Amino acid sequence: MLVSAKEMLTKAKAGKYAVGQFNINNLEWTKSILLTAQELNSPVILGVSEGAGKYMCGYKTIVGMVNGMLEELNITVPVALHLDHGSYEGALKCIEAGFSSVMFDGSHYPIEENVAKTTELVALCNEKGISIEAEVGSIGGEEDGVVGAGECADPDECKMIADLGVTMLAAGIGNIHGKYPENWAGLSFETLDAVQQKTGDMPLVLHGGTGIPADMIQKAISLGVSKINVNTECQLAFQEATRKYIEAGKDLEGKGFDPRKLLAPGAEAIKATVKEKMELFGSVGKA
Ligand code: 13P
């Protein structure tokens, strides 16, 4: 059964480790992530962007697929199904469809509007026992075609949003989605420290988990980060493994490519990436 992310993140914050959010794009990715979490006895959050939601035939299809896998694969570790960077309308649809967690990304609205919309969604999520993530200070890079510059959040605005009763808070600290540029200034631990001091026990979320050096990840966890999002790294691993398989050209004869064989190396590569991240984040054995 899917669970809200609240309990796993409260435990992570208290235990000074982070739960990984791994974004899914298809059946193979989802299965790889769930099997790895089970094997490592780690809690896990499956992230779904609105674009991936459309690709996978809508939120109801995803809920059906994930619930089916939890049962058929005998997954007993805590699993949350979470909308990543949701719009207000997207969050409503996911709540309706059976997601156990949503992110409402109101970071591009003026703070008053972010507060108003977040307040409304918090009430709805509380009613249904669903966890909710809010964002302050836009995360840089590209996410579903929207490009942000990687701002540092204002700690007072973070407190304002945290006080609305959200479950977890994503604060921009110079992090970027996708690959980091050569001249990246690194995470602003000063901002993170100030946000944590203002928001107390609130689990903080680090987006853009791909390519952040291990020592920065560990420092961020020590300063209150309890959820780390990873997407691009799984995409790159999947792409590279698939490319190698195609280049080897084994199945070009006869019936052509067998999709089950074609996608298998990518699925294995995702397992390896997820394992490496769970070990780095410290969530292994914490289910
Ligand atoms: P990366 O694509 O950089 O791993 O970021 C993922 C993310 O933050 C999803 O919200």
pLDDT digits (tens, 9 = 90+) for 234-248: 999 999 999 998 888
207 CA to centre of ligand 1 in angstroms: 5
Q: Compute, in angstroms, the gap from residue 23 CA to the centroid of ligand 1.
A: 8
Closest atom, ligand 1, to C-alpha of 233: 4
Task: List pLDDT tens digits, range 225-281.
Answer: 999 999 999 999 999 999 998 888 766 666 667 888 889 999 999 999 999 999 999
Q: Active site includes 193?
A: no
What one-character DSSP code corresponds to residue 167? S
**Which is catalytic among the residues 84, 105, 144, 193?**
84
CB distance 136 to 10 below 8 Å: no
Tens of pLDDT, residue by residue over 74-103, are 999 999 999 999 999 999 999 999 999 999
**DSSP for 50-110, written as a single string:** HHHHHHTT-HHHHHHHHHHHHHHTT--S-EEEEEEEE-HHHHHHHHHHT-SEEEE--TTS-
3-state secondary structure of 183: coil
Q: Which domains does the chain have, with CATH numbers?
A: 6-239+269-281 (3.20.20.70)
Contact between residue 36 and residue 274 where contact means Cβ atoms under 8 Å apart = yes
pLDDT for 154-174, tens place per residue? 999 999 999 999 999 999 999
Region 203-210: mean pLDDT is 96
The pocket around ligand 1, CB under 6 angstroms, is made up of 23, 47, 84-85, 177-178, 207-210, 229-233
